[in-house]
Chain A
Amino acid sequence: MSNDRRGAMSRRKFLGVMAGTAAALPFLDLSRVSLAAEKGKPKKGGQFIFPMDYEPVHFDPHISTNQAILYFTNMAMSGLLRCKTGLGSDPEKWQFIPDLAESYKQEDEVTYTFQLRKGVKWHNLPPVNGREFNAEDVKYSFERIATPKAGFDRRTMFTVVDKLEILDNYKIKFVLKEPYAPFIPYVASPFNKIVAREVVEKDGDAKKTLVGTGPFILESYDRGGYAVWKRNPDYFVKGLPYLDEVQMPVIKDPSSIVAAFRTKRVDWMWTSIATTAESVQKSTPEAVMEKFFDTGIYHLAFNLQKKPLDDVRVRQAIALTIDHEALIKTAFNGEGAKQTPVPIGFKEYAAPYDILPNYTRDIPKAKKLLAEAGLANGFKVTIQTNTYYVFAVNSLPVLKEQLKEVGIDAEIKIMESAAFLESRTRKDFEISWMAHLAFADPDEFITIFYGTDGSRNYGFWGSPELDKMLHQQRTTLDHKKRKEILYGIQKYLATQYYSIPTPMPYYYEFWHPYIKGFRAAPPLFVTIGFQGISKEKA
């Protein structure tokens, strides 16, 4: 039992801290903590404890959009490329670096050749039994990702691939049908891992057996309990990982995670609730904290088959009614930012607010638009959301009052997760406040949601004009030109308002100072970074 009495405090002091925290909330500075330069060689050995708030229901990365699966697959598997993690990385600026590919070359606008690492071994577990990784594995995996079958959500990422040529055991060429700007981000997407053919042939899928070429091997997983990972002694990056073991206990209760972090029962935690972050920062001042915006999105999605939401003037009026700053103040305690049609996490591509129409609250204009649409007296509408979307749940009462100002009577429906997801999938809603995971590239969001045949077009959104612009941005390799097209798309989306992007909270990640080599990373690939971290104390 750890009875470290540093940080112990009397009840009076605790109450004082809580009162002080409450008083200081608008003023406490949750700036990014500057990270002190780390000196000395990383220490080999030790155990890192990472709490899991969600558990994977299976291990197949190709047929999932659930980030819990990535906690596991990022540990055991590798991709051709991966997102940079650790020292020198920036959670708000994704960089794609070699993983199983030691390099790649873009021969022309449509041809990419990947030079694979030699001597890489699969985990020494059945059915792969430590055999060598080769180009066949890459071809198999990317053809599998593009399987034209329900379940393979990211198939649309690679339908652009015309040919996959194996040049030799360690070289593979992708020839695309047309230039494709998001190709490299998609190759590097944490979901697009290289899977072993033997696993899929044995089980019919990769859901049950978790083997890969990654830095850690799953030793045991007690569902509902914890997972134990051991260092892969044959990992292709010599000297890594430093850690002997990673333990991932399942802790779903936020208070338990906070308490466990304070008492060093776990080495890392995250939250997107500002008051929790402030409380942790105050009670554990020695912990390192970093905050950033994710590339995910919250948005108020309209079902265009429900009247009067099929009228663009009505949707614009609703957009003009929303006071985003008030929502940030209420739901995020002032710690957040207005969202843009391309998530603000994509710093370079998210349009500045001042170029987007209908982005500033304007009640008279909203009323005028409703009157033009024949709804001067307002109308009734149901807004639903998921109990898990804390920000939406906290914001809805505020939004309801805002909409009342233009005569819109909103009925709030907070739904249990499975019921919400079914209603969303069946398109059985009027307005739905949705939330989505981080995306590897702006194209991943805007195409699958707003393309007329997008796989997640939940509200009958899109138009031929927009499809043309989406195709244009996808096939423009020049970064500056692509940015201009994306700005144009965002202006279009801020006119049509198929959905209204709603404020984004920060992600706060905390870790103890004895963890070295770590930088905050989106949950989508945070566990990739474990290969490069070390622990100062045992």
Chain B
Amino acid sequence: MRQYILKRILLTIPVLLGVSLFIFSLVRLVPGDIVVLMLQESGNVSSEAAEQLRVELGLDKPFYIQYVVWLKKVFAGDFGESLWSRQPVLNELVKRIPITIELASLSMIFAILISIPVGVISALKQDKFADYAARSFSVAGISMPSFWIGTLLILLPSLWFAWSPPIIFRPIWKDPVSNLQQMIFPAIALGFNISAVSMRMTRSALLEVLRQEYIRTAWAKGLTGKLVIMRHALKNSMIPVITILGNQFGTLLGGTMIIETVFSLPGVGRLTVDSIFQRDYPQIQANVLFIALIFVFINLVVDILYAWLDPRIRYR
């Protein structure tokens, strides 16, 4: 297992290199030249002024030289400076990571707390009212975009209860009450879609496991329903659920971009959106690399969880 984990960690490097090259190219291919964007505030842009700024920003060199220079700095821990503020991009990114991690974690916790119990109930009460209700909830959750749910969660409480979330972000260690008041609705908005997908997977995985012979044996032995479900059936049905949750984490990270903007949370997602609009290449590159790293890490954790859940699974 240790060897497997080490192998997976080493494999992260080529993955991240590939991501870095992809994003480095993509931002430069998108219409909207940052040099023109920076100078357009002053009206018509002369080619001399544009060229001068291009040299100042280091954008005059051929693409492959820019990439190699940037990559060398990255290996030395320097992700470059924001082209707008001229501050190190890592400063801004590091400041925002805890907010996005907290949002993603709360969303995942919400999704798990809803999807697994609802999925279990739906499977146990197959074709009864509870099952239909749960499946309707699932369809609704899959259909409704997270930004729409988010907007409703902002507007409706303000109209019905004269309440809205706090607008100034306070870290959880400084003001846990204000922090949770601000985070709970975005976590619900983001986690709702994931919970709907995971609920369906929980339901179908559990139904399949419940049909297995060893479960019939357990019932025949006279074990209580709680024991049969919790000790025997649930654990074995979790593998596909964990796969789905792991895959959904990518959706969740992408969703933070929209939800952080809707709820005015100063996280990595919103920083990435702003950087894209401003064509702040170094910031975009750093942010995307961070998201890719998190995604790869989560996938590794999911694989390790498989091994814990199912002793038959062993990696080399």
Cβ contact within 8 Å between A224 and B40:
no
B37 contacts which chain A residues (CB < 8 A)?
A: 418, 421-422
Q: Does A66 contact B (CB under 8 A)?
A: yes
Cβ contact within 8 Å between B264 and A58:
no
Task: Output the nearest chain A residue to B158 by Cβ-Cβ distance.
Answer: A259
Q: Does A448 contact B (CB under 8 A)?
A: yes
- Of B159, B168, B278, the residue contacting A225 (CB under 8 A) is B168
Cβ contact within 8 Å between A253 and B274:
no
Closest 5 A-B residue pairs measured CB to CB?
Answer: A418-B32, A150-B49, A455-B43, A224-B266, A259-B158
Cβ contact within 8 Å between B42 and A11:
no
- Of B36, B86, B271, the residue contacting A224 (CB under 8 A) is B271
Bound complex: CA A225 to CA B170 (Å)? 10
Cβ contact within 8 Å between B162 and A256:
no
Q: Does A538 contact B (CB under 8 A)?
A: no
Interface size on A, residues (CB 8 A): 66
Q: Does B299 contact A (CB under 8 A)?
A: no
Q: Does A252 contact B (CB under 8 A)?
A: yes
Q: Mark B219-230, 1 if CB is under 8 A from A, else 0.
A: 000000000000
Q: Mark A1-14, 1 if CB is under 8 A from B, else 0.
A: 11111111111001
Cβ contact within 8 Å between B162 and A58:
no
Cβ contact within 8 Å between B262 and A8:
no
Task: Output the nearest chain B residue to A420 by Cβ-Cβ distance.
Answer: B32
Distance in angstroms from B197 CB to nearest chain A CB is 25
Cβ contact within 8 Å between A448 and B43:
yes
Q: Does B143 contact A (CB under 8 A)?
A: no
Distance in angstroms from B118 CB to nearest chain A CB is 24
Cβ contact within 8 Å between A250 and B266:
yes
**A49-B167, A249-B264 known, 9 other contacts, Cβ within 8 Å:** A3-B162, A11-B160, A14-B159, A63-B42, A151-B42, A260-B167, A262-B158, A266-B167, A424-B40
Cβ contact within 8 Å between B32 and A8:
no
Tell me the chain A residues, 46-69 only, with Cβ under 8 Å from chain B.
Answer: 49, 51, 55, 57-58, 63-66
From known contacts A63-B42, A255-B151, infer whether A57 and B84 are also in contact, taking CB-CB under 8 Å.
yes
B36 contacts which chain A residues (CB < 8 A)?
A: 421-422, 425-426
- Of A151, A252, A260, A422, the residue contacting B164 (CB under 8 A) is A260
Bound complex: CA A266 to CA B86 (Å)? 31
Q: Does A143 contact B (CB under 8 A)?
A: no
Bound complex: CA A222 to CA B264 (Å)? 13
Bound complex: CA A248 to CA B251 (Å)? 31
A151 contacts which chain B residues (CB < 8 A)?
A: 39, 41-42, 49
From known contacts A51-B167, A455-B44, infer whether A256 and B264 are also in contact, taking CB-CB under 8 Å.
yes
21 interchain pairs, CB-CB under 8 A = A1-B163, A6-B162, A8-B160, A55-B274, A63-B42, A153-B43, A224-B96, A226-B168, A253-B154, A256-B164, A256-B167, A256-B262, A256-B264, A259-B155, A259-B164, A262-B159, A416-B32, A417-B277, A419-B30, A425-B44, A426-B36
